[in-house]
Structure 1
Amino acid sequence: MLPPSWDHQPTPVTAPTPDPLTPTRDVTHAHFQAGDTVVVLKGVVAGELWGDSMRVVAPSWHTPTDEDGWRLRDPTGGAQSYVTAHPRYLVHLSRRCPDCLIYLRAMEDALLARFADRDELIDCGWYTTTALGQLVHTADTRGSR
């Protein structure tokens, strides 16, 4: 399903790709809880979905969407150990819930065939982190509303 590629990743190749599912995904704040392990899907590597694995820490207001979000901790640390994200960006890794599995399969259907001939780490360019440490999807930036 998701390879352990999020540990010690090479520099990804950016391949701007439309995200047909995340901007309209309807998942509530209550779907995730503090302590959950999640992944933020960002692209593909060697025929598998790829993303950043994080732990849900605490509720937090997600300023870019003006909705309830979650404070996430990246266990590998790095330049930005904590970010705030909207729940629709997250997929459970710590448990197999139906909503996340359906979303995951739909993302596989949308992306894997598109990049089947490429083995490098591909970042589809969907996310950026604001100066306030808010993970924001390109469809949720203030200019796109």
Structure 2
Amino acid sequence: MTDPQHPLKIPAAWAPVPDHLTPQRDITHAHFRPGEQVVILQGVAGGELWGASMRVVTPSWHTPTDENGWRLRDPDGGERSYVTAHPRYLVHLNRRCPDCLIHLRAMEDSLLPKFTGNTGVVNCGWYEITALNHMIHIGDGRQSR
């Protein structure tokens, strides 16, 4: 489910594949805890969802949505070692919780049929990184601008 290349490199152009599920996801800040491993789904690779695998570090205000968020650490480091993200962008990797599994399944049902037969990595371009290292979903970005 994670990209073999650095997952936080957001391309200038992306596949025109909408994600209407994540911005509407109703998940609370309390659903995640420091130390948990999460993934931010970003596209499809070889017939499976892939994304940025990160570790939850500490609560942090998510300025783009004006709501509680989480400071996340990219274990691979790089240009964006730490980002802040809204909890609705996150899916547990270290445990199989029902809420995350439901969201994961809905994303699979929505996306995978669109990429049948595609063996490459497709970044759907749902996220951008602000100057303050806040990860923002394009659905949320349009609402907050």
Letter in 1 for 2:119: D
CA RMSD of aligned residues (A): 1.7
Q: In percent, how many aligned pairs have the same letter?
A: 63
Number of residues of Structure 1 aligned to a counterpart in Structure 2: 141
Letter in 2 for 1:6: D
* Structure-2 residue corresponding to 1:103: 103
Out of 5, 8, 25, the position equivalent to 1:8 is 5
Contact (CA 8 Å) 2:46, 2:120: kept in 1 or not?
Answer: yes
* Structure-2 residue corresponding to 1:126: 126
1:8-56 per-residue CA deviation (whole Å, 9 max, x = no partner) reads 3598783121102001000000000000000000000010001000000
Contact (CA 8 Å) 2:42, 2:52: kept in 1 or not?
Answer: yes
1:54-95 per-residue CA deviation (whole Å, 9 max, x = no partner) reads 000000000000000000000001111000000000000010
Contact (CA 8 Å) 1:16, 1:123: kept in 2 or not?
Answer: no
* Structure-2 residue corresponding to 1:47: 47
Structure 1 residues not aligned, in runs of 5+ = none
Q: Secondary structure at the match of 2:139?
A: helix
Cα distance between partner residues in 2 of 1:121 and 1:136: 21
Is residue 2:136 matched to residue 1:136?
A: yes
Query: Quick check: 112-121 or 13-22, which moved more?
Result: 13-22
Query: Quick check: 9-18 or 47-56, which moved more?
Result: 9-18
Cα distance, 1:6 vs structure 2 = 2.3
